[in-house]
Structure 1
Amino acid sequence: MSRNAEVAHQLEIFADLLEADDVEYKPNAYRRAAENIREYHEPIEDLADEGKSAVERIDGVGDAIAAKVVEYIETGEIEELADLKGKLPVDIEALTRVEGVGPKTVGTLYDALGITTLDELADAAEEGRIQEVKGFGAKTEANIRENVAFAREAQKRERLGDARPLADDVLAYLRGVDEVEQAEVAGSIRRWRDTIGDVDVLVAATESEAVIDAFVELPAASDVIEAGEHKAGLRVDDIRVDLRVVIPDEFGSALQYFTGSKDHNVELRNLAIDRGLKMNEYGVFDVADVDDPDAGQRVGERIAGETEESMYVALDLPLIPPEIREGTGEIDAAREGTLPDLVAEGDVRGDLHTHTDWSDGRASVAEMAQAAAERGYDYYAVTDHASGPGMVGGVGLSDDEIREQMDAIEDAREKTGSELTLLHGIETNIDADGGLSTADDLLADLDVVVASPHAALGQDRETATDRLARAVEHPSVDILGHPTGRLINEREGLDLDVARIAEAAADAGTALEINADPARLDLHGELVRVAIGAGATIAVDTDGHAPGALAYIRYGVHTARRGWCEADDVLNTRDVDELRAFLH
């Protein structure tokens, strides 16, 4: 079970505390190392076992950071990080969840007001003390006050992208236990919600004690919360993992029941009652001839439950995909035979929004194209950042640099051969009025244009909707990138009338993006459903900044499934000729 994410998380905390302590240069080095460790294809603990020099094989990990990684793997802590926490005893993760509060702000407010927690920050903002600190003002204080509630809510749930890799590792570990017959995740993580409360795991086994014993020995576990006869709970890197063990004959019914959602299950149970049936986590029971159906959970003749599909068949329904079990019309659709044939990851034939080291990516054009080819893609687009609103630190390319990149793309085309169609595009920036940061004549010369909002993300609903509607109507714009601009658990993004934008996009032949970066998942599932209902085409892209990030496509596909997308709704399930026809 890989500890890459766990180690990366420690380095990210280190980076934030260094920045809060006003240390220059080092924070970015730690963040780059953390990102590369998180995406590295080998378990970091195996490299650490080989020694510091093996850890240094990871790009961006030098001698000092490698030594700290080995120290953490061997001892469970980093002494220098512990010392820094003692010097700055702040809850850096909670405080920086407040939009507009970065690590440097945390350091300044600690020095000036002794603020260490979210509650203390909220109190200081309510009492008007923040605006009295040098460099702050009434407007900054008001923004902090308004965003604390969002930060509090974000504390309660983990991003899917942080929890799902852990869940996959836990499943792999449990499936390797001899007594385990079946294992699957349940709850919101199985429905691929963009945030989850904890990781729920369900196991089928006749010897539950042996499974519980193996579970509490999970190598990555930092704390055993509880351990009973059939249930146990652990904490792994601040994420709670709950295990439930059931007998094999009841695995299907338990999996259906614990996948949820509550609204979905209530509707199913009511449907069962109407048919003289009782439906619960133990199966479906015929209670038509039972005097007291509430006498117990297993009363009556059991007619389903060994498999999840049997639970639906007992109600004359097809198996409903987990992603759409939200009580929002899926049961009616199942009864009417109109359930969508949801898009699958294997349907995706290319990625149309990615970055290279020409802007803020971490790999060359050739390396990214090779990664796309290895995924079996038919086509792949390089869409580096253009300069403009929201781009800082020289990240974006000027128009002249974009034209220079055309030669690099042509060179890469020759190296990748005819197996992969390599497209050249740009991610241009949408300004506050809906204009673009790249010249029209240049946009017209590119294969694909992604237009994205990176600034003015606090606009009101009407202004923001007008702005993006204007952008999708630009004749050269092919895809509206991460439309709301949200960052999960960090900022809410734009409040939009997505139906109106989708109608404008459909009329203009512009696709709306599901940005599959697990920090974004933007558009999210509910808005995707609105968009396709208004006739829009969806593009599922990774916004990948490194070869490993192309694997994020699975988060985008499952988000599309949550939005009831079929393959025909998704632009990049089309072949090259169909894609070119849409783009031009």
Structure 2
Amino acid sequence: MATNAEIAGRFEEFADLLEADDVEYKPRAYRRAAENIRAHPVPIADRVEAGDEEVLEEIDGVGDAISSKIVEYVDTGEIEELEELRAELPIDIADITRIEGVGPKTAGTLYRELGVRTLDDLEAVAEAGEIQEISGFGPKTEENIRDNIEFAREVGQRQLLGEARPLADDVLEFLEGVEAVERCEVAGSIRRWRETIGDVDVLVATEVGEDVIEAFVGWDSVDSEIESGPEKASVRVGEIRVDLRVVVPAEFGSALQYFTGSKDHNVRLRNYAIARDMKLNEYGAFDVSAVDDPDSGQRVGERVAGETEEGMYSSLGLPWIPPELRTDRGEIAAAENGDLPDLITREDVRGDLHSHTEWSDGNTSIEAMVEAAAEMGYEYYGVADHAEGPGIVGGMGLSDTEIIEQIEAIREVAAASDIAVFAGIEANVTADGEISLSAEVLEALDVVVASPHSALDQDAETATERLVRAVENPAIDVLGHPSGRLLNERSGLDFDATALGAAAAEHDTALEINANPRRLDLWGSAVQAALENGAPISINTDAHQPSTLEYMRWGVHTARRGWAEPADVINTWELEELREFLH
């Protein structure tokens, strides 16, 4: 059964191909619909297949024309109009537009002028020097394409966490309802909450593996079976591969530890065990102190743990290490010394300081966003629409006059709300680290988020200087999505997170973890480097509609990957403490 992300992907492809064909207006409508489809809280295809097409009326931006295409896709697996467009423009549009600076219009031009359909085609014409000969292109464009082709190839093989994890949750819910399943959990990079994953790994404890395998490959959501056997099976759900492995209950904990990884963490842990006459593997923890040749078999020695993951660590005298920390960045030494962090949880978050409304590129009103924040139990909430500046999508940023008008509108909503509402703005960080807001606007605002949106091809030294200059600006409260990256689309700025963290700590500027699953920026290692230098962190959703306030889930787990505790994150603080920080 098609997932919301898969349906959204069809309309994003529609938009890209239409734009490549120089069609105006329609691409934006399809992109808005795609964003709302992706964020919709219930599985759209399930409801449509059950005959409940009214679900489509709940989705902003989905009118009759788009609704009919969704129904067509659910019913047939295709959209005829999209297939016709693909035939007219046979371009691997998603792959080609992953190259920074190559948008749909550029892809269309490259196809018409040079016949470029694939990344291989693009690489060939770039190496031959043919791109710079096209009117409006040049040597720098061609060099940029050459430099970014490998990145585009690599990211095309991985799925976003925000798309794969909801599917993983559905898999677990299904398996928990299978009678033969005693325990089940995801493993691999998805359990470590890595921002992109190769596939969904699931582990099941059972005494009747064949029954579980049979139920799994027969699940209604499975589109195709890749392979199956007595101990494991692989299927495809939409565009995502799901791998299932079954083990006996006594080995569930050891298998879960082993298959969660990461490889570097497991190697370090195994070496830690060897130094203590222990042997760790997917079958358990074994005391091999009395064994002459510990490598003579997988199950040699006295088995002392394996049923639970906690037991695997405690057999070495260590506390359980949260999956997000298992990246070999000092977590085993911290566990040995009793210094593991008390990681932030979703329940610690009291508010969200960066979101958008229909005043700029959001999809709904200030009132609707504030109401949704209140329903989530937040104590405070910040509106931060775009100020005008380079890199702002569709030129939809607000002028100084419009910002002042919006502040007044926010104050009116705040007066009627049960939660505190901050009037904010998301300003653009220019190539040299400045922002362009008048003194009058800065004085009127409660919170200033400043983010890089353009000039994202700077070298690491220049990018670091740019971001450090921004956090040194006393008007800026939060540096938003510091790299400007878009996962699987562009790499964004490369910078020294240690230097940025030190500057942010010195100047009391929070560094944002942008929780949008297409960004997750900052990321785990950068958060850890910033925190080691005392920088405050802010986790924000960058939500453009009420449903995307739920992106906070991804931001919290990214913070956990960076060893963040509640006190490190400003939007876990009491309201008055936060007000003091912002002022």
Letter of the aligned partner of 1:529 in structure 2?
Q
**Offset at 1:525?**
0.8
Q: Are 1:2 and 1:169, in contact at CA under 8 Å, matched by a contact in 2? A: no
After superposition, what is the alpha-carbon deviation per residue over 1:127-167, rounded to whole angstroms, capped at 9, x for unaligned? 01122233322222121111112111112222222221221
CA distance in 2, matches of 1:127, 1:302: 61
Which residue of structure 2 lines up, in the alignment, with residue 247 of structure 1?
A: 248
Structure 1 gap segments, 5+ residues each: none
How has the CA–CA distance of structure 1 residues 77 and 488 changed in structure 2, closer, same or farther, with 3 Å as cutoff?
Answer: same
Q: Are 1:432 and 1:456, in contact at CA under 8 Å, matched by a contact in 2? A: yes
CA distance in 2, matches of 1:311, 1:355: 45
**Offset at 1:2?**
7.4
Which residue of structure 1 lines up, in the alignment, with residue 8 of structure 2?
A: 8
Counterparts in 2 of 1:72-87, with a 5 A limit? 72-87=73-88
Counterparts in 2 of 1:420-439, with a 5 A limit? 420-439=419-438
Which residue of structure 1 lines up, in the alignment, with residue 39 of structure 2?
A: 39
CA distance in 2, matches of 1:243, 1:14: 33
Is it true that 1:353 corresponds to 2:354 in the alignment?
Answer: yes
**Offset at 1:360?**
0.5
**Offset at 1:331?**
0.6
How has the CA–CA distance of structure 1 residues 295 and 100 changed in structure 2, closer, same or farther, with 3 Å as cutoff?
Answer: same
After superposition, what is the alpha-carbon deviation per residue over 1:93-143, rounded to whole angstroms, capped at 9, x for unaligned? 111111111122222222222211111110110001122233322222121
How has the CA–CA distance of structure 1 residues 221 and 95 changed in structure 2, closer, same or farther, with 3 Å as cutoff?
Answer: farther
CA distance in 2, matches of 1:504, 1:267: 33
Counterparts in 2 of 1:464-475, with a 5 A limit? 464-475=463-474
Q: Are 2:407 and 2:444, in contact at CA under 8 Å, matched by a contact in 1? A: no
After superposition, what is the alpha-carbon deviation per residue over 1:177-228, rounded to whole angstroms, capped at 9, x for unaligned? 2221211111111111112121111111111111111211233333321111
How has the CA–CA distance of structure 1 residues 192 and 54 changed in structure 2, closer, same or farther, with 3 Å as cutoff?
Answer: closer
Is it true that 1:234 corresponds to 2:222 in the alignment?
Answer: no
CA distance in 2, matches of 1:427, 1:447: 12
How has the CA–CA distance of structure 1 residues 392 and 12 changed in structure 2, closer, same or farther, with 3 Å as cutoff?
Answer: closer
Secondary structure of residue in 2 paired with 1:146: helix
How has the CA–CA distance of structure 1 residues 52 and 318 changed in structure 2, closer, same or farther, with 3 Å as cutoff?
Answer: closer
Which residue of structure 1 lines up, in the alignment, with residue 174 of structure 2?
A: 173
Letter of the aligned partner of 2:548 in structure 1?
A
CA distance in 2, matches of 1:213, 1:20: 45
CA distance in 2, matches of 1:501, 1:271: 33
CA distance in 1, matches of 2:361, 2:315: 53
CA distance in 2, matches of 1:93, 1:231: 32
After superposition, what is the alpha-carbon deviation per residue over 1:269-318, rounded to whole angstroms, capped at 9, x for unaligned? 12222222221101111222234433322222211111100000000000
CA distance in 2, matches of 1:470, 1:374: 38
Counterparts in 2 of 1:236-275, with a 5 A limit? 236-275=237-276
CA distance in 2, matches of 1:237, 1:12: 16
**Offset at 1:429?**
1.2
Structure 1 consecutive aligned stretches of length 4 or more whose deviation exceeds 4 Å? 51-54
After superposition, what is the alpha-carbon deviation per residue over 1:481-517, rounded to whole angstroms, capped at 9, x for unaligned? 1111111121111121222222222121111111111
Is it true that 1:480 corresponds to 2:485 in the alignment?
Answer: no
Q: Are 2:6 and 2:239, in contact at CA under 8 Å, matched by a contact in 1? A: no
CA distance in 1, matches of 2:199, 2:327: 18
Which residue of structure 2 lines up, in the alignment, with residue 536 of structure 1?
A: 535
Structure 2 gap segments, 5+ residues each: none
Counterparts in 2 of 1:194-213, with a 5 A limit? 194-213=195-214
Secondary structure of residue in 2 paired with 1:201: strand
CA distance in 2, matches of 1:299, 1:397: 68
How has the CA–CA distance of structure 1 residues 197 and 514 changed in structure 2, closer, same or farther, with 3 Å as cutoff?
Answer: same
Of 506-515 and 74-83, more deviation after overlay is shown by 74-83
For these two proteins, the number of residue pairs brought into alignment is 582
TM-score of the two chains, using structure 2 as the length reference: 0.97
TM-score of the two chains, using structure 1 as the length reference: 0.96
Which residue of structure 2 lines up, in the alignment, with residue 526 of structure 1?
A: 525
Which residue of structure 2 lines up, in the alignment, with residue 183 of structure 1?
A: 184
Secondary structure of residue in 1 paired with 2:430: coil
**Offset at 1:328?**
1.6
Which residue of structure 2 lines up, in the alignment, with residue 225 of structure 1?
A: 226
CA distance in 2, matches of 1:177, 1:130: 56
Secondary structure of residue in 2 paired with 1:436: coil
CA distance in 2, matches of 1:3, 1:158: 13
Secondary structure of residue in 2 paired with 1:416: coil
**Offset at 1:46?**
4.1
Secondary structure of residue in 1 paired with 2:520: coil
Letter of the aligned partner of 1:39 in structure 2?
A
Letter of the aligned partner of 2:468 in structure 1?
A
How has the CA–CA distance of structure 1 residues 283 and 540 changed in structure 2, closer, same or farther, with 3 Å as cutoff?
Answer: same
CA distance in 2, matches of 1:465, 1:46: 47
**Offset at 1:338?**
0.9
After superposition, what is the alpha-carbon deviation per residue over 1:522-572, rounded to whole angstroms, capped at 9, x for unaligned? 111111111111111011111111111111111111111111111111111
Secondary structure of residue in 2 paired with 1:89: coil
Of 246-255 and 37-46, more deviation after overlay is shown by 37-46
Letter of the aligned partner of 1:397 in structure 2?
L
CA distance in 1, matches of 2:356, 2:337: 44
Counterparts in 2 of 1:39-118, with a 5 A limit? 39-48=39-48, 49-50=50-51, 52=53, 54-118=55-119
**Offset at 1:52?**
4.8
CA distance in 2, matches of 1:548, 1:489: 23
Q: Are 1:253 and 1:306, in contact at CA under 8 Å, matched by a contact in 2? A: yes
CA distance in 2, matches of 1:448, 1:575: 16
CA distance in 2, matches of 1:414, 1:385: 23
CA distance in 1, matches of 2:29, 2:393: 17
